[in-house]
Each structure stands twice: as structure tokens, then as C-alpha cells.
Amino acid sequence: MNECVWTEEKLSELRERVAPYLTGQRLRHTLAVEKEIAKLGALYLPEKTGKLRAAALLHDITKKLDAEKQLQILAESGIMPDEAARLSPSVFHAMTGAVTAEKEFPEADGEILAGIRWHTTGRADMTVFECLVYLADYIEETRTFDDCVKLRRDFYGRLENSSDPADALTDTMIESFDLTIAGLIGDGLPIAPETVAARNSFLLKKNRQASRSATEGHA
């Protein structure tokens, strides 16, 4: 299949097609994620802003389904969450979202599907594309939850103060996992292993970046 070119016309059409999958409030959030990711994309992946916006429009398409329906969709795709994964039902919609997008939106390619799949927990070795879907979802302007407001402020502050936008992104991803994990602990909820793997992976990346700059500094 030819790769879809995400023109404004294609994005408008997608916006209309995703609307029935979303509640009013979720549609408002989804449009705000699209707006946020257009900003982030211009900074980090300018050649993919259209595709990022498509991923934003699709990222929560199964959010309104109950846990039972989510599990049914997963079972139909041969995915059986184990007992531990069943304790984190808020994570199901990222899995079912990717499965549903693949079936019902054939123009969504592998990169979009991965953006949807990892938008809630993150994972080890995230691509920049995946990071932008994850981060836009967290900091979009309609979010009023304290952690989201703090992450938004800290991210844009780092962008202003840091010489390298990649460092601002790494630090912000780490902070996001710190906030999410602390919140889950506060609520007595389990932490998905992918979330822990994501945090560890970004800490490793930061450490490598730091030792590289230290070596360069001594050269």
C-alpha cells in the first residue's frame, strides 16, 4: 500500500471519522493533542507533523469502551493480558486502540500504530515519534491535573533554557514517568512494567549523554 500523505484535507476527513469513537470531552482532548503535537512536531520531527497529527487523532479511539469490551477486542486479536496486566485496565485502551486503528483505519501505518500502542505507558527505547504522542497527550492545553500543568511548564522552561531540544525531551520524559509512578503509588495502583522500563531506558540515555559530553569536554 502506498504511504498515506497527511494533507490538511486527509486530516480533516480523519477528524470527522474519529469523532463517533469519542465522547464530547474526549474529542476536545483529542483535538488539543493534535494541536500540541503540531507544535512538538515542528520542533522535533518537522517532516512528520501530518502523520503525528493523525496519530494524535487516533490515540484514544477505544477509551470509551469498558474493560470487558477492551478484553474482548484483545482476545479477538489473540492477546491475553496476564493476571498482573489485568490489574492495570487503564492501559488496555492503548493496546485496543492500536488493534482497532489497524482494522478500521487502514491508512494508519506501523509508526502511527506504535504511537498509539505506547502512548499510555511508554516503553524502553521509545522512538521520537512515540515520545511526541506520549508527551502531547500528557501536556495538551486543556489538561488541568497538577502533574500535567507542572510537566507542561517544566518542558517549555527546559526548551528555553537548554541548548539542545533533545536534552529537554529526555529530561521531560524522565520527569513524566516520575510523576506518573509517584501518582500510581499514591493511589495504591500497580505500575505497568513498560512504564518502569521506559523510565530506566531514559535514565540510561541521559547517563550516556552526560558521559559523552564529559569526554568531549576533556578532548
Instruction: Give the residues lining the site for ligand DGI (CB under 6 A).
Output: 29, 60, 63, 88, 90-91, 119-121, 137, 180, 184, 189-192, 195
* Cell, residue 81: 493480558
Least Cβ distance, residue 59 to Fe ion (angstroms): 6
Element (H, E) at 172: helix 165-186
CA torsion 129→131→133→137, rounded to 10°?
Answer: -170
Q: Does 137 bind Fe ion (CB under 5 A)?
A: yes
* Only segment of 104-112, 134-142, 167-175, 196-204 that touches Fe ion (CB under 5 A): 134-142
Is position 36 an interface residue for Fe ion (rule: CB under 5 A)? Answer: no
Q: Which stretch binds Fe ion (CB under 5 A): 38-46, 133-141, 177-185, 187-195?
A: 133-141
Q: Under a CB-based contact definition with an 8 Å cutoff, are residues 71 and 180 in contact?
A: no
Say which residues have a Cβ less than 8 Å from residue 118's Cβ, sequence separation at least 6: 94, 126, 130, 133, 134, 194
State which residue, 184 or 203, has the beta carbon closest to Fe ion.
184
Nearer to Fe ion, 36 or 175 (CB): 36
Coil vs helix vs strand at 62: coil
91 binds, among Fe ion, ligand DGI, none (CB under 5 to 8 A by kind): ligand DGI
